[in-house]
Chains A and B, each alone.
Chain A
Amino acid sequence: QQQVRQSPQSLTVWEGETAILNCSYEDSTFDYFPWYHQFPGESPALLIAIRPVSNKKEDGRFTIFFNKREKKFSLHIADSQPGDSATYFCAASAYTEGADRLTFGKGTQLIIQP
């Protein structure tokens, strides 16, 4: 069963616009929510992450908004650039002593049109 749902599957925005990628989850024990990005031909890499002690996390042009009540979180990419074109994966995990495992969404393919 899929515990992390991601939408849209693909998204095209113009350069300079804000791209918004969405995720939702079901497991209320999840307490860590990272976003990974993956450029064509490369491996995934951590972009930004949030823990629910906060409802917002910013890192430059990238912002995570977190809504615990609705079990939703989103990634906003401001002033998007063609170099941001990639596949973005949201993920979630619950702390488990000994190992922490991530559950990934299916990904959003983001294309930034110049």
Chain B
Amino acid sequence: EAAVTQSPRNKVAVTGGKVTLSCNQTNNHNNMYWYRQDTGHGLRLIHYSYGAGSTEKGDIPDGYKASRPSQENFSLILELATPSQTSVYFCASGGLGGQDTQYFGPGTRLLVL
């Protein structure tokens, strides 16, 4: 069974603070993704990675950084959090070399005050 976990599951941050969202996958997938989900916008891709050490910008990367230190871990970093970044964030992993299924984590609810 595919397994993608995220931490924390809920986070309250202050404007201007630094937030790090973590994702771990045990699927041995090369590809990992960070999305945010907002009502009326669906799932929007922030950053993705195709292996350890790589990060790529998605459709809405501004205000976010990503880090992929290992095959299993992919982090999303908000250096200076803003209220507009209040959202639900999903991490996903997927196989390489074709359009494989993406397996999503349970999500992180972030509230920036």
Contact of A101 among B42, B48, B51, B106 (CB under 8 A): B48
Residue on B nearest A106 in the bound complex, by CB: B42
Q: Is A89 part of the binding interface, using a Cβ–Cβ cutoff of 8 Å?
A: yes
Contacts of A104 in B (CB 8 A): 35, 42-44
A98 contacts B98, CB within 8 Å?
Answer: no
B99 contacts A34, CB within 8 Å?
Answer: yes
Do A99 and B90 form a contact, CB below 8 Å, given A93-B99, A105-B42?
no
A24 vs chain B, min Cβ distance (A) = 15
Instruction: Tell me the bound Cα distance from A35 to B17 in angstroms.
Output: 36
Contacts of B41 in A (CB 8 A): 106
A99 contacts B105, CB within 8 Å?
Answer: no
Q: Would you mind naming 16 contact pairs between A and B with Cβ atoms under 8 Å apart?
A: A31-B99, A32-B98, A34-B101, A46-B102, A89-B42, A99-B50, A99-B96, A100-B94, A100-B97, A100-B98, A102-B45, A104-B42, A104-B44, A105-B42, A106-B41, A107-B42
Given contacts A44-B104, A105-B42, A107-B43, 14 further A-B contacts (CB under 8 A): A32-B99, A42-B106, A43-B90, A44-B90, A46-B102, A51-B99, A95-B98, A98-B50, A98-B96, A99-B31, A101-B45, A102-B45, A104-B42, A104-B43
Residues in chain B within 8 A of chain A (CB atoms): 30-31, 33, 35, 40-45, 48-51, 56, 58-59, 90, 94, 96-102, 104-107
Residues in chain A within 8 A of chain B (CB atoms): 6, 31-32, 34, 42-46, 49, 51, 89, 93, 95, 97-107
